[in-house]
Amino acid sequence: MKAVSEKRDRVAFCILLCSVVIVFQASILPANGQTDTTGREQQEPGYPRRYLSLFEDEELLEVSLHMDVSKYIRKADREQSLDGTMIIHFSQTDSVERKVTIKYRGQSRYERCKYPPTRIVFKKPVYEGSDSGRIKKIKLVNQCQPGTVYGDYLIREYLAYKLYNVVTDTSFRARLIRLSFIDPQRKPIIQYGILLEPEGLIESRLNLFEVTSRALSQRHMRPVMIDRIAIFNYMVANWDWSVPGQHNISVFTSADAAPSAMGIPIPFDFDLTGVVNADYAIPPPGKGIETNRERLFLGICRDREVFESELIAFLEKKEEFYSVVNDFPYLSKSAKRDIIAFIDLFFSQLEKPKGRERMIDIFQSTCKDFQ
């Protein structure tokens, strides 16, 4: 019965992804400029600038990327740039079109994925919300491989971003998109993708300034922020992060802070987490874990009282975490059950005082000193 149920969920997932293909393809506009199709006058001198709501809204967004798809997939040169046109479709009659340069990013996904993640550079910027929301470039996370299984992985990664949004507003916002790769030389490729909030938007939204330094460690981060990241990554079973080298961590500081102010870390890239449970997420030797669903605490060492306080804060948000998963419309029931069951292992231990004590014991046995 379980196999039949999972098969039914897979079929439903495929129908959901493919049901609008015919309608959507009919709405794709010629890729020929830097236009807004509702009120082209907005692109002309003297008219108001068009403001978008990429990260304020949460419904599935239609995006088409017109480019040489075969060249992108070949990955002949990691440093190569591809020219193309991105069209953001808000409806069949309302879209924003920009010429773009497409660049590969990341390392592991570049090597193993047919559709590696990219950075989209707009030749003419778009604006999120106001003049201060200027977007010149944006990160795009693509489905690693074709098929519903990898579509499921990408949606799970999107939910990891939404789960961290529950922990704190000092986090990357993400937008789930239905992405169409359009190349006149081949059939359209339609899959899910994620647009990540650019660092510049975080700077203007939170009055921060990005810091880049390989000399930083967890000792240089605001304690409450780095502790929350460490506990969150333990909850979702993420071993693929570190502050030294800023691996899957961006670091900011308050824009009006002194040069010696402590850093504000924000995590990203959750594809190797236990919540995603990708078949390629194999921990490297030396991590002390054998599967991607084993939890590993990689935070800095603290007194027991500090860990206790932060764990209680997570426990108070339990229902919010569960609602993020249960209320999400683009994931199968079986996948939702799997995610809930996995994070429930964390919370079921957290709810019991003795279980919480054992978790703190684990934290203190594997924490880092970072002198």
pLDDT (tens digit per residue) in 224-235: 999 999 999 999
Same domain, 158 and 253: no
DSSP helix/strand/coil, 214: coil
Helix (H, G, I), strand (E, B) or coil at 83: strand
Verify that 190 and 288 share a domain, yes or no: no
- Residue 129 CB coordination number (10 Å): 15
- Mark 58-82 as b/e (b = at least 16 C-beta within 10 Å): eeebbbbbbbbbeebbeeeeeeeeb
pLDDT at residue 195 is higher than 70: yes
pLDDT at residue 46, rounded to an integer: 47
> Tens of pLDDT along 283-308?
999 899 999 999 999 999 999 999 99
The answer to whether residue 24 scores a pLDDT higher than 50 is no
Residue 2 lies in a domain: no
Residue ending a domain, choose from 203, 229, 260? 203
Task: Decide which of 203, 232, 250 is a domain's last residue.
Answer: 203
Average pLDDT over residues 194-201: 97
**Amino acid 36: pLDDT:** 61
pLDDT at 106 (0 to 100)? 83
Residue that has been written with the tokens 């510049």 in this structure? 200
Residue 107: Cβ within 10 Å count: 11
Residues 236 and 171 occupy one common structural domain: no
Any domain includes 10: no
Query: What is the tens place of the pLDDT at every residue in 339-369?
Result: 999 999 999 999 999 999 999 999 999 999 8
Assess whether 50 and 199 both reside in one domain. yes
For residue 9, is it within any domain? no
Read off the pLDDT of residues 325-335 as tens digits, 9 standing for 90 and up.
Answer: 999 999 999 99
- Average pLDDT of span 248-274: 93
In DSSP terms, which residues pair with 63 in a beta bridge? 88, 179
pLDDT at 10: 52
In a domain, 11, yes or no: no
| Residue 1 in domain | no
**Whether residue 272 is found in the same domain as residue 188:** no
The reported pLDDT for the residue numbered 153 is: 98
**pTM (predicted TM-score):** 0.88
Residue 6 lies in a domain: no
pLDDT of residue 37: 57
- Domain limits at 124? 19-203
Q: What is the predicted pLDDT for the residue at 50?
A: 87
Q: Quick check: 4 pLDDT over 50?
A: no
Specify if 162 maps to a domain: yes
Q: Is residue 14 part of a domain?
A: no
Are 190 and 214 within one domain? no
Note whether 180 and 219 are same-domain residues. Answer: no
Mean pLDDT of the chain: 89
CA 273, 253, 208, 223 dihedral sign is positive
Instruction: Tell me which of 19-23, 237-241, 263-267, 285-289 is least confident.
Output: 19-23
**Per-residue pLDDT reduced to its tens digit, 171-191:** 999 999 999 999 999 999 999
CATH number of the CATH domain containing 341: 1.10.1070
Q: In terms of domains, do 286 and 170 share one?
A: no
Residue type, 288: G
Categorize the per-residue pLDDT at 55 as very low, low, confident or very high, splitting at 50, 70 and 90.
Answer: very high
Quick one: 162 and 286 in the same domain? no
Total domain count, the chain? 2
Q: What is the pLDDT of residue 29?
A: 45
Report whether pLDDT(279) > 70: yes
Together in a domain, 182 and 211: no
Q: Which of 203, 218, 239 is the last residue of a domain?
A: 203
83 plus 163 within the same structural domain: yes
Do 149 and 216 fall into the same domain? no
Percent of the chain with pLDDT over 90: 77
Is the per-residue pLDDT at 158 higher than 60? yes
Residue 12: is its pLDDT beyond 90?
no
Q: Which of 51-60, 210-219, 228-237, 361-370 has the highest mean pLDDT?
A: 228-237
